[in-house]
């Protein structure tokens, strides 16, 4: 009998071996690069912490493409140097190790440069969504107290209003992009930056989506970034050194920067969609994504289910116009993936669709491989290496296989807690396990399934109803593009179900048709008592439906 600790070490060693052998990263190493790195170690100019990997790639493969955004094409040597320049600028402005740097920008190469330069000086990155209003920004500023803010120029007014409301000004000031930003990285230094400290203070602070209340700051240290679950994830997905990864999800969320880091760890290329105001692809343009996949020979991308649904909804003649054969993996995450969407994507693109479960607070938890989501409808896959998962009922007892319980996770990837919010941290923790309020179940084969968010569960006539089950069924209707279900007050039942439906173009579906479609496949008590048709569902950029806005309707 192998002791659990030794068994864990063996699993980790095997995962690391598979990643090194199969990724092709060893083939990128050479003597010249090793000599360059040795010199930087001797002169104490090699970065410490997570950005060191960029310097490693810059030494071994300086001319390989690292970052692409429209006409901007940076090689690894150029990317590493520009990060150095920006890090120097941060230090000159008074930023120090352990400080926080807030970033409020649209997707682009400047965003990535800012994130990695902040990590290089040992600062924590506070990510602020550019769609937030001044009072929402004020809450984050008051809670995080960043030393410096880097922002897009047209967001200055919202920030000024937020400063006034929060009664807070960043100590080191603010950098507006693009003009001042570009000036700071225009002139190369004569020597490499000498890193401060040991890189342990570098980190990120992501504010939770706030679908039910005020966002909470989830702080994560990057001192130890190569966790068991990360190794297992890279191994199972097959992330390689020749990756060309398309970024379409917002960088101010936790998932997109995490995938950028995974690709950079292997030495791949990041390709960014143009998200500047007024550009043709501002927001998500499904056909433009296909055009980019063909032009840049994209091998991988992360998308939220809404994006995948819109891709699958493109007319067949449009989808046939573009060559997508370069794709090796397409990752779905951040919100539940409808099985019907998964089926359409797989029928079109082949066995490339993966689906993961995780959160800002827990990191990577489960992974469903190609075909598993449709073979086990609704699954989020099986637990990744290093994760312990428990499902508890309301009394804190573990539920049996097949029963629904609140999903708690324990791993080395857990955040330290919510910044300056002990009460919220305490409510989320149980015996060292962390919950973000998701309900789920596990089958005998170890596949996990999400039932719903705990606060979205509906109790009608004393019966627990999980809206996600009804939503999954509605998504199978050929004339329904999107659907969301909530509970509304009912004088007889306490709560009853209301469906919000977005129809495909040209559909004449009625509320009665929607109800009948549910009645034929679901128990009577799961049939929506009322149906509202909308042009679109209110969503966060991460794809999560804002059900609080539906309740206000």
Residue 543 lies in a domain: yes
Strands (E), 58-105: 65-69, 72-75, 100-104
Report DSSP letters for 440-453, one per residue. Answer: EEE-TTS-EEEEEE
Q: What is the 3 state secondary structure string of 342-368?
A: HHHHHHHHCCCEEEEEEECCCEEEEEE
Looking at the DSSP bridge assignments, the partners of residue 499 are 485, 531
3-class DSSP state for residue 276?
coil
Residue 419 lies in a domain: yes
Q: Which tokens is 294 given?
A: 């063909």
Structure confidence at residue 424 (pLDDT): 86
**Residues 39, 44, 45, 50: is their CA dihedral positive or negative?**
positive
Is 461 in the same domain as 441? no
Looking at the DSSP bridge assignments, the partners of residue 381 are 448
The reply to whether the predicted model has a pTM over 0.95 is no
Residue 179 lies in a domain: yes
CATH number at residue 493: 3.30.300.30
Q: What are phi and psi of 435, to 5 degrees?
A: -130, 140
Q: Are 203 and 124 a contacting pair, CB within 8 Å?
A: yes
Is 216 in the same domain as 234? no
Q: Are 105 and 152 a contacting pair, CB within 8 Å?
A: yes
Q: Which tokens is 360 given?
A: 């800002």
Residue 48 lies in a domain: no
Residue 386 lies in a domain: yes
Residue 103 lies in a domain: yes
Is 150 in the same domain as 281? no
Is 325 in the same domain as 440? yes
Q: Distance between CA 548 and CA 238 in Å, rounded?
A: 38
The number of folded domains in the chain is: 3
Closest CA to 531 of 552, 503, 510: 510
**Residues 286, 291, 296, 298: is their CA dihedral positive or negative?**
positive
Q: Which tokens is 111 given?
A: 């965003």
Q: Distance between CA 106 and CA 145 in Å, rounded?
A: 21
Residue 44 lies in a domain: no
End-to-end CA distance of the chain: 59
Contacts of residue 385, defined as CB under 8 A and 6 or more positions apart, other chains included, come to 11, 12, 15, 228, 229, 231, 232
Tokens 């140097």, residue? 81
CATH number at residue 440: 3.40.50.12780
Residue 53 lies in a domain: no
CATH number at residue 153: 3.40.50.980
Query: Can you say how many angstroms the Cα of residue 308 is from the centroid of all Cα atoms in its chain?
Result: 15
Measuring CA to CA, how many Å separate 61 from each of 26, 35, 54, 94, 241? 12, 13, 10, 33, 11
Q: Are 216 and 419 a contacting pair, CB within 8 Å?
A: yes
Rg of the chain on CA atoms, in Å: 24
Structure confidence at residue 283 (pLDDT): 66
Neighbours of 199 (CB within 10 A): 22
Structure confidence at residue 276 (pLDDT): 43
Domain boundary among 454, 480, 503: 454
Is 371 in the same domain as 502? no
Is 463 in the same domain as 432? no
Domain boundary among 190, 223, 256: 223
Tokens 């880091």, residue? 261
Is 434 in the same domain as 337? yes
Q: Are 159 and 104 a contacting pair, CB within 8 Å?
A: yes
Domain boundary among 223, 238, 266: 223
Q: Which residues constitute the domain of residue 294?
A: 1-27+226-454
Is 213 in the same domain as 241? no
Strands 530-533, 494-503: pairing kind:
parallel
Structure confidence at residue 226 (pLDDT): 59
Q: Are 367 and 236 a contacting pair, CB within 8 Å?
A: yes
Structure confidence at residue 281 (pLDDT): 39
Is 151 in the same domain as 14? no
Q: Which tokens is 421 given?
A: 């919010």
Written as tens digits, the pLDDT of the chain (553 aa) is: 666 666 667 777 887 888 888 889 999 999 999 999 999 999 988 998 889 999 999 999 999 999 999 999 999 999 999 999 999 999 999 999 999 999 999 999 999 999 999 999 999 999 998 888 898 899 999 999 999 999 999 999 999 999 999 999 999 999 999 999 999 998 777 777 777 655 556 688 888 765 445 778 988 876 655 578 999 999 999 999 999 999 999 999 889 999 999 999 999 999 998 644 334 334 689 999 999 999 999 999 999 888 998 899 999 999 999 999 999 999 998 878 888 899 999 999 999 999 999 988 899 999 999 999 999 998 999 999 999 999 999 888 999 999 999 999 999 888 878 988 888 888 889 989 999 888 899 999 999 998 877 778 888 876 778 888 899 899 999 999 999 999 988 877 778 899 999 999 899 999 999 999 998 888 888 899 999 999 999 887 777 788 888 888 7
Is 244 in the same domain as 389? yes
Is 150 in the same domain as 17? no
Is 406 in the same domain as 516? no
Structure confidence at residue 455 (pLDDT): 78
Structure confidence at residue 4 (pLDDT): 62
């Amino acid at each position: 009998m192998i002791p659990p600790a030794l068994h864990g070490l063996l699993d980790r060693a095997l995962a690391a071996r598979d990643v090194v052998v199969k990724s092709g990263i060893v083939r990128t190493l050479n003597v010249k690069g090793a000599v360059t790195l040795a010199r930087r170690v001797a002169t104490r100019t090699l970065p410490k912490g997570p950005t060191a990997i960029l310097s490693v790639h810059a030494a071994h493969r300086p001319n390989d493409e690292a970052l692409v955004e429209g006409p901007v094409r940076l090689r690894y040597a150029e990317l590493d140097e520009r990060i150095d320049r920006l890090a120097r600028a941060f230090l000159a402005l008074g930023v120090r190790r352990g400080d926080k740097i807030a970033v409020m920008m649209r997707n682009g190469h400047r965003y990535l440069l800012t994130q990695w330069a902040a990590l290089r000086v040992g600062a924590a990155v506070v990510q602020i969504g550019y769609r937030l209003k001044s009072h929402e920004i004020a809450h984050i500023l008051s809670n995080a107290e960043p030393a410096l803010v880097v922002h897009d120029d047209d967001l200055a007014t919202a920030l000024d209003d937020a400063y006034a409301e929060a009664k807070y000004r960043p100590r080191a000031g603010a950098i507006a992009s693009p003009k001042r930003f570009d000036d700071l990285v225009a002139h190369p230094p004569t020597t490499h930056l000498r890193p401060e400290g040991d890189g342990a203070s570098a980190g990120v602070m992501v504010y939770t989506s706030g679908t039910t209340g005020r966002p909470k700051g989830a702080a994560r240290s990057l001192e130890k970034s190569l966790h068991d679950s990360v190794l297992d994830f890279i191994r199972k997905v097959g992330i390689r050194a020749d990756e060309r990864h398309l970024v379409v999800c917002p960088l101010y969320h936790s998932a997109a920067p995490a995938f950028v880091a995974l690709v950079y760890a292997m030495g791949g290329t990041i390709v960014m969609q143009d998200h500047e105001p007024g550009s043709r692809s501002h927001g998500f343009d499904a056909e433009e994504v296909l055009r980019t996949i063909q032009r840049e020979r994209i091998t991988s991308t992360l998308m939220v289910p809404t994006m995948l649904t819109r891709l699958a909804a493109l007319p067949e003649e449009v989808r046939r116009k573009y060559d997508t054969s370069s794709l090796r993996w397409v990752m779905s995450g951040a919100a539940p993936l409808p099985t019907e969407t998964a089926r359409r994507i797989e029928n079109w693109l082949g066995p490339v669709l993966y689906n993961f479960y995780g959160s800002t607070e827990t990191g990577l938890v489960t992974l469903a491989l190609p075909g598993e989501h449709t073979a086990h409808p609704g699954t989020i896959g099986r637990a990744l290496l290093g994760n312990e998962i428990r499902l508890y009922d309301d009394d804190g007892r573990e539920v049996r296989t097949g029963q629904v319980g609140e999903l708690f996770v324990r791993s080395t990837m857990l955040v330290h807690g919510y910044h300056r919010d002990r009460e919220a941290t305490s409510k989320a923790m149980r015996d060292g396990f962390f919950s973000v309020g998701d309900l789920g179940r596990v089958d005998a084969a170890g596949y996990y399934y999400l039932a719903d968010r705990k606060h979205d569960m509906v109790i009608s006539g004393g019966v627990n109803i999980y809206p996600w089950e009804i939503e999954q069924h509605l998504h199978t209707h050929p004339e329904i593009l999107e659907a969301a279900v909530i509970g509304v007050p009912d004088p007889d039942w306490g709560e009853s179900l209301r469906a919000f439906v977005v129809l495909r173009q040209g559909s004449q579906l009625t509320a009665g048709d929607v109800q009948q479609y549910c009645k034929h496949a679901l128990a009577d008590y799961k049939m929506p008592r009322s149906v509202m048709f909308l042009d679109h569902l209110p969503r966060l950029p991460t794809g999560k439906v804002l059900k609080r806005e539906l309740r206000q309707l």
